[in-house]
Amino acid sequence: MGNNKIKLNNSQLSNYTHRLEDLQNTLIANNHIDGIYGDGKNLVNNEIFRIENDFADQLYMRRMYMPKDCLVVSAMHHTEHFWFLLKGRILVTTDGEEVEHIAPCFEKSIKGAKRLILSLEDSIFINVHKNPTNTKNMDEVEELLYSMTLEEYIKKEKIRKEKEINKQAHGRNNSSSNWRRHIRSWRNCWRVNWWKKKTP
């Protein structure tokens, strides 16, 4: 599990992701054919690949039903999280490495991973994500957690890093202004005390 990490600057991993995106784009271009689903903009949720969403305090759970002999190109996740196979058997390919999972089992999903999943039996697959704002708006949840392409993933991650840097810089500014306020307050207090001592 520990060797499963995605490094975007590693050409081998990047090439694997690009190959998966080529497959995804081919499927999207042929989604008029019966049995091929997806538009590249939204997660597939239909009568074949049924998705159920559930929420608990600061947690979001996504349950997907995968019929036997179905192939799924996953979205890219923006967080590390755990997934659980409750029923069935699946073959998961990540960075060219194939691993067969037999229910019941679970795995840690690494941030940035894009996977190819083949259901060898009827399967139920669950992702559990943090949901710090407790939103139940699925557009917000999906915007926060998923990207459909590597380009979208890199763009979102860049924006997040910039926001984090700005937040840290703002926090430092607040911290220094708090110190200035405390020093001013201490000076004023000292002046008042000094003046009280001086006055008869």
| Token couple for 188 | 């004023």
**pLDDT value, residue 82:** 95
| Overall average pLDDT of the 180-193 stretch | 56
155 and 100 fall within a common domain: no
Pair 119, 187 in one domain: no
Same structural domain, 133 and 185: no
Give me the domain span that covers residue 171. Answer: 150-200
Mind listing the pLDDT tens digit for each residue in 120-167? 999 999 999 999 999 999 999 999 999 998 889 999 999 989 988 888
- Whole-structure pTM value: 0.72
Lowest mean pLDDT among 3-7, 94-98, 126-130, 137-141: 3-7
Number of separate domains in the chain: 2
Whether residue 59 sits in one domain with residue 93:
yes
Same domain, residue pair 112 and 160: no
Which CATH number belongs to the domain containing residue 59 in this structure?
A: 2.60.120.10
Percent of the chain with pLDDT over 70: 78
Percent of the chain with pLDDT over 90: 60
Q: What pLDDT was estimated at residue 169?
A: 79
Query: Exposed e or buried b for every residue in 103-125, given b needs 16+ CB within 10 A?
Result: beeeeebbebbbbbbbbbeebbb
DSSP letter string, the chain? -GGG---TT-HHHHHHHHHHHHHHHHHHHTTTSTT----SSS---SSSS-EEEEEETTEEEEEEEE-TT-EEEPPEESS-EEEEEEESEEEEEETTEEEEEESSEEEEEPTT--EEEEESSSEEEEEEEE-TT----HHHHHHHHEESSHHHHHHHHHHHHHHHHHHHHHHHHHHHHHHHHHHHHHHHHHHHHHHHHH--
Q: Do 140 and 159 belong to one domain?
A: no
Say yes or no: 67 and 48 in one domain: yes
Per-residue pLDDT, 166: 85
* The residue type at 49: F
pLDDT-wise least confident of 6-15, 142-151, 183-192: 6-15
| 61 and 33 share one domain | yes
- Res. 8: pLDDT tops 80: no
Query: How many degrees, rounded to 5, is the angle at CA 52 between CA 49 and CA 102?
Result: 65
One domain for residues 94 and 106: yes
